[in-house]
């Protein structure tokens, strides 16, 4: 599923609180990641969600954990673009400048 920024910003939003690396709590507004994955038709067989950033970096998390997270969002950045806000997940999954969300499947063992 491909989308530009405008349709994502037009989707229903939610507000979540999350702490940054300095321990400060901030409020973020964005779209539920689980809703985005559902809209994309992600199947239960998918194992990993990868968040790719505009600087070439990426982070990954278990698909089941991401979809079960009610407070995980793709937040809106003030100057445009998105960031991943996932309270209670490790800080290295909190990707700024997200340009792509990829879903990967584990190889089938025979």
Residue 110 has pLDDT above 50, yes or no: no
CATH, domain 5-105, list 3.90.420.10, 3.30.470.20, 3.40.309.10, 3.30.470.10: 3.90.420.10
C-alpha span between 63 and 44 (Å, rounded): 8
Number of other CB atoms surrounding residue 43 within 10 Å: 10
Residue 9 has pLDDT above 70, yes or no: yes
Can you say whether residue 56 is alpha, beta or left, with left for phi > 0 and alpha for psi between -120 and 50 degrees?
left
pLDDT at 2: 63
Residue where the block lists tokens 């793709």: 74
Number of other CB atoms surrounding residue 13 within 10 Å: 15
C-alpha span between 47 and 44 (Å, rounded): 8
Q: What is the pLDDT of residues 22-74, one digit of tens each?
A: 888 999 999 999 999 999 888 878 899 999 999 999 999 999 999 999 999 99
DSSP, collapsed to helix, strand or coil, labels residue 19 as strand
Q: What is the pLDDT of residues 66-94, one digit of tens each?
A: 999 999 999 999 888 899 999 989 988 98
């Amino acid at each position: 599923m491909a989308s530009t920024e405008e349709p994502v910003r037009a989707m229903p939003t939610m507000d979540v609180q999350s702490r940054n690396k300095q321990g400060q709590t901030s409020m973020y507004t964005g779209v539920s990641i689980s809703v985005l994955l559902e809209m994309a038709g992600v199947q239960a067989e998918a194992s990993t969600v990868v968040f790719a950033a505009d600087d070439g970096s990426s982070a990954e998390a278990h698909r089941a954990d991401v979809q079960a997270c009610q407070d995980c969002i793709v937040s809106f950045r003030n100057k445009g673009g998105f960031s991943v806000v996932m309270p209670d997940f490790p800080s290295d999954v909190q990707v700024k400048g997200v340009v792509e969300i990829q879903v990967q499947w584990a190889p089938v063992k025979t």
